[in-house]
Amino acid sequence: MSVAALVDRLEIALVDFNFEWSLVQMRQVVDYWYDGKSIYDMAELLNRKPDEIILLIVDFARGRVLPPRPYGLNANNRIFISKKHLRDKKDNLRRFVQDSPVYIPFIEKNFVWNDWEIKRFRDMWEADDSIIWISKQLNRDIDEVLFLIIDQAGKGFIDPRKNGLLGKDATEHDLIRQRLPF
């Protein structure tokens, strides 16, 4: 007699992304950020997916490598920084590649999702809940929810929302900062 067991299917978010960054590429991203280039310009110059650029920028922002910009990921005015300060900032990137010739942002995060988590996420996304609320409800790190958003949008399972990541909790200022040029 065989017994069938119900097993929840697992899905790995962003499995088709290249997470490896060389020191040279990371320095270029820092230069491009301060020059005011958009993520689309950076992606074209670095021959990378825009979403890969976004993940590195989020990681650098968390590590206080990059400052916020008035128009976020869009094109911005150049950020003034002294040549010495910029050189020091780029030299400090060596700490990211101490143990390896490449750096992998968010290597400690969980990219594995159960079917029920994905279904619940999609329901909350459709309800215009914020990424903050979703992460609390799913008991997941906000970065992990961001990865799932990028993954699900890339696969066409969710659509962009008028109020972006913050959903119904977004302020007018938030909407201006996250607006992407298309």
Mean residue pLDDT of the chain comes to 84
Distance of CA 173 to the CA centre of its chain: 20
For residue 146, list its beta bridge partners. none
Name the least confident of 17-31, 83-97, 107-121, 157-171.
157-171
Q: What local confidence, expressed as pLDDT, does residue 182 receive? A: 34
Give the tens place of pLDDT for each residue, 127-155: 999 989 999 999 998 989 988 998 888 88
Q: How far is CA 129 from CA 6, 162, 168, in A?
A: 30, 12, 6
Q: How far apart are CA 13 and CA 46, in angstroms?
A: 23
Place of tokens 């290249």: 18
At the topology level, CATH places domain 21-103 in Arc Repressor Mutant, subunit A (1.10.10)
- Give mean pLDDT, residues 150-163: 86
